[in-house]
């Protein structure tokens, strides 16, 4: 589902208005594909289906590479595009701002899922280590914490 002309590295500079329009159309298609993938990932993570969401990683990575190449090509030809396609450039910039806002939502969902899962793992680790360390009191009369060298690591099976 990679749009035509998505790989732009090594391509000559944009020489015509038609070629500039096509480059902008290609970037729009790449953004659409990447956004579709990101929205699916966001939905899966929100539903707690992290295994399914992780399967989108390769496609998302590939599309991000195409997106970077397409934007670099347009940046390299910005003077030509600014001069010859100002209206299309303004529309692309507006679309790009919307695209970035939707990516920010995805990043927020991923960061939240990461923080929650990290908190769960730390909680399990603390509980396991608390039961394996003798409960003693220090000179102040408070329970002493386990020394870091006495903490036991935990192993997590990713196949579950």
Looking at the structure of the chain, the number of domains it has is 1
Residue 78 lies inside a defined structural domain of this protein: yes
* Stated pTM of the model: 0.69
Q: Is 150 part of a structural domain of the chain?
A: no
Q: Backbone phi, then psi, for 137, in 5-degree steps? A: -115, 140
Spans of the chain below 70 pLDDT: 1-10, 131-134, 145-152, 156-160
Both tokens of 118, joined, read: 């990290």
In a domain, 152, yes or no: no
If phi > 0 it is left, if psi is from -120 to 50 it is alpha, else beta; for residue 10 that is: left
- Please report whether residue 23 resides in a domain: yes
Is residue 91 in a domain?
A: yes
From the list 138, 139, 131, 142, the residue with the least C-alpha distance to 151 is 131
Q: What is the pLDDT of residues 111-125, one digit of tens each?
A: 998 888 888 888 887
Q: Per-residue pLDDT tens for 59-85?
A: 999 999 999 999 999 999 999 999 999
Is residue 154 in some structural domain?
no
Residue 146 domain-assigned (yes or no): no
Cα–Cα distances in Å, from 44 out to 39, 50, 65, 90, 107?
Answer: 9, 7, 22, 33, 13
């Amino acid at each position: 589902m990679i749009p035509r002309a998505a790989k732009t590295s090594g391509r000559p500079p944009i020489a015509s208005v038609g070629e500039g329009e096509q480059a902008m159309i290609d970037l729009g298609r790449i953004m659409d594909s990447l956004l579709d993938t990101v929205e699916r990932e966001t939905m899966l993570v929100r539903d707690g289906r992290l295994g399914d969401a992780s399967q989108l990683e390769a496609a998302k990575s590939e599309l991000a590479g195409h997106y970077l190449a397409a934007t670099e090509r347009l940046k390299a030809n910005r003077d030509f595009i600014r001069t010859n396609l100002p209206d299309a450039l303004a529309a692309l910039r507006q679309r790009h701002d919307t695209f970035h806002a939707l990516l920010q939502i995805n990043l927020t969902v991923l960061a939240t899922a990461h923080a929650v899962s990290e908190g769960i793992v730390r909680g399990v680790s603390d509980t396991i280590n608390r039961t394996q360390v003798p409960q003693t009191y220090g000179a102040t009369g408070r329970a002493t914490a386990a020394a870091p060298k006495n903490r036991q690591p935990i192993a997590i099976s990713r196949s579950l």
